Amino acid sequence: ALIRAELAMVLVSGGLKGKQVTYMAFDARVPTGAGFDRQAALRRLAIAYFTSHGPATIADFAWWSGLTQADAKAGLALAGDALEPVAAGLWAGAGAPDGALSAPCMHVLPNYDELVVGHQDRGAAIAPGAPLRNSGRDGLVFSHLVTRDGRALGTWRRELGARGAKVALQGAPALSGAERAGLEAEVARFAAFLGTPAVLC
């Protein structure tokens, strides 16, 4: 009955009261939106997707959003000069940086990260020579990825011990001093999240 009421927009989940789940009237919890028309919505979604996930294809956009190919193309056309082609069939937000960074931008990402989940063809997310496969049902989506400048180099795993955690790299190539320093900064952030010491190994 509660699920039906939520689907009918009569009730919604409220805040926790101690450990107890509460419910509220939909109209009291959800503010009335200003709304916008369908074309404005397609334009806004296209700009948001290609700016945050580009370079990407129209097929990527359609797959990620659930739109038809026709609606995905319409959204791209409506975006106008907010988006720009960066290669054959690939689009990104206008003014996206395309030069080399002054220092390598390193990250340790969780599985199901948008870097790979946001695209059908994940080849552009893999660094040249990285020991990672780009196929529809491989482990790329399920892997914890090590990235440099937005492209996957290899994978990592967490090892918990009595004295803290270790972040163990797997399959990544030898790192330069700057790359290792960047990863060590990321591991420090991960340690703060875990609330326990963590080291890169």
- For 142-198, the pLDDT digits (tens) are 888 898 888 888 889 988 888 888 999 887 778 889 999 999 999 999 999 888 899
Distance from C-alpha of 175 to C-alpha of 52, rounded to nearest angstrom: 27
Out of 5-19, 45-59, 66-80, 87-101, which region has the weakest mean confidence (pLDDT)? 87-101
Mean pLDDT value across residues 1-18: 84
Cα dihedral sign, 122-123-128-129: positive
pLDDT in tens, 16-43: 888 888 888 888 888 777 777 899 999 9
Residue 151 one-letter amino acid: R
* Per-residue model confidence (pLDDT) at position 102: 65
Distance of CA 164 to the CA centre of its chain: 27
* Per-residue model confidence (pLDDT) at position 61: 93
Q: Pick the residue with more confidence: 1 or 80?
A: 80
Distance from C-alpha of 197 to C-alpha of 201, rounded to nearest angstrom: 13
Mean pLDDT value across residues 95-102: 61
